[in-house]
């Protein structure tokens, strides 16, 4: 299928290694952040979210870190697997939940080498 | 799978034509948002519908319009198609809000090509 990863920053990791994907967000007033995974030919899939009153949240094999001082968000994937290969987007909500409007980053292509 | 379906999956139109894209959500998901995703970029918010009314819009011209029906399904209409409208169009639905933010469930998208 057609790739959405053309011209995107690429992170290449070995299977079993940990992956860290970084994102800078734009609005200090944003209070909700989400990481999405998008495989070729599919819509974005929710991975994990975090609210601005937290600096860390853990899920299954994934951890999101939020640094509001430098407006930086990161996604850590433990023991990366071939099925993790996809484009990863961070997204922010800027309007305090008044709408579901999400502002997406440019995306990072994660390539897992067997 | 998210339970959100979109039709058609692919569509080819010519410049100046009009197009209607459709989205059906999970039962009870009463908010729907539409996004445009150009190749190699992140999705961009077009607008949101809640209780059959538009209640949020991104930087898109009026030729992008929408509808939400009583069963919460939705349409995106684009008039006077331009070449730059070629993109993947995504809809995302949300359950009735229990908290300030609820998870959005994305459909697989409709790939629109304008020639």
Q: What is the mean pLDDT of chain B?
A: 91
pLDDT band at A4 (very low <50, low <70, confident <90, very high): very low
A17-26, A28-37, A91-100, B22-31: the lowest-pLDDT one: A91-100
Closest among A48, A55, A42 to A91, alpha carbons compared: A48
Region B41-58: mean pLDDT is 92
Contacts of B72 in chain A (CB under 8 A): none
Mean confidence (pLDDT) of chain A: 89
Note whether B88 contacts A45, CB cutoff 8 Å.
Answer: no
State the pLDDT confidence band at A31, using cuts at 50, 70 and 90: confident
Q: How far apart are CA A83 and CA B1, in angstroms?
A: 15
Confidence class of residue A2 from pLDDT cuts 50, 70 and 90? very low
Q: Check whether A106 has a pLDDT greater than 90.
A: no
Q: Is B86 within 8 Å of chain A by CB?
A: no
E-strand spans in A30-79?
32-38, 45-51, 56-58, 62-67, 72-77
* Average pLDDT score over residue span B85-107: 83
Q: Which residue, A47, A113, A109, A52, is CA-closest to A81? A: A113
Whether B109 sits inside 8 A of A43 (CB atoms) is: yes
Across the interface, of B31, B88, B108, the residue whose CB is closest to A100 is B31
| Cα separation, A23 vs B32, whole angstroms | 26
Does the pLDDT of residue A53 top 50, yes or no?
A: yes
Most A CBs within 10 A among B9, B41, B51, B110, hence the mutation to make, goes to: B41
Per-residue pLDDT, averaged over B26-33, amounts to 84
């Amino acid at each position: 299928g057609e790739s959405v990863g053309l011209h995107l920053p690429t992170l290449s990791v070995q299977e079993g290694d940990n992956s860290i994907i970084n994102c800078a967000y734009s609005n200090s007033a944003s209070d909700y952040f989400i990481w999405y995974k998008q495989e070729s030919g599919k819509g974005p899939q929710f991975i994990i979210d975090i609210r601005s009153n937290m600096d860390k949240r853990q899920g299954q094999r994934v951890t999101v870190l939020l640094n509001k001082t430098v407006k930086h968000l990161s996604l850590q994937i433990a023991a990366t697997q071939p099925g993790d290969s996809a484009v990863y987007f961070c997204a922010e909500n800027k309007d305090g939940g008044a709408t579901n409007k999400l502002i997406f980053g440019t995306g990072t292509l994660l390539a897992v080498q067997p | 799978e998210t339970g959100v379906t979109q039709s058609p999956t692919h569509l080819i139109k010519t410049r100046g034509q009009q197009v209607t894209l459709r989205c059906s959500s999970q039962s009870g998901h009463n908010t729907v948002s539409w996004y445009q995703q150009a190749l190699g970029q992140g999705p961009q918010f077009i607008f949101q519908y809640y209780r059959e009314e538009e209640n949020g819009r991104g930087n898109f011209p009026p030729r992008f319009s929408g509808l939400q029906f009583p069963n919460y399904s939705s349409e995106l209409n684009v008039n006077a198609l331009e070449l730059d409208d070629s993109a993947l169009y995504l809809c995302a639905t949300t359950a009735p809000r229990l908290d300030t933010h609820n998870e959005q469930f994305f459909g697989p998208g409709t790939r629109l090509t304008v020639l």
